[in-house]
Chain A
Amino acid sequence: MIYLDFIIGHLNYWLFIVLMMTGLYIVVARGNLVKKIVGLNIFQTAVFMLYISIGKVTGGTAPIYPVDNQGHMQVDPSIIYSNPLPHVLILTAIVVGIATTSLALALIIRIREVYDTIEEEDILEIERKLSAADNKTHGPAMGGRA
Chain B
Amino acid sequence: MIETLINIVLFAMLVLTALAVVRINQLFAVVMLSGVFSLLSALLFVTLDAVDVAFTEAAVGAGISTVLMLGTIALTARTQKKSTRSGMVPFIVVVVTGAVLVYGTLDMPGFGDPNAPASLHVAPEYMIGSIKDIDVPNVVTSILASYRGYDTLGETAVVFTAGIGVLALLSGLTRRRREDEEEDV
Contact = CB atoms under 8 A, between A and B. Distances in A.
- Tell whether any CB of A sits under 8 Å from a CB of B in the complex: yes
A27 to B, nearest CB: 9
Given A29-B85, A102-B68, A45 B112 contact: no
Contacts of A132: none
Interface string B88-122: 00110111011001100110111111101011001
A interface, how many residues as a size bin? 35 or more
A12 B7 contact: yes
A94 B57 contact: yes
A9 interface: yes
A39 B49 CA distance: 26
Contacts of B72: 34, 105, 108-109
B123 A83 contact: yes
B77 interface: yes
Contacts of B68: 98, 101-102, 105
A126 interface: no
B83 A30 contact: yes
Interface in A100-124: 100-103, 105-110, 112, 117-119, 121-122
Contacts of A75: 131
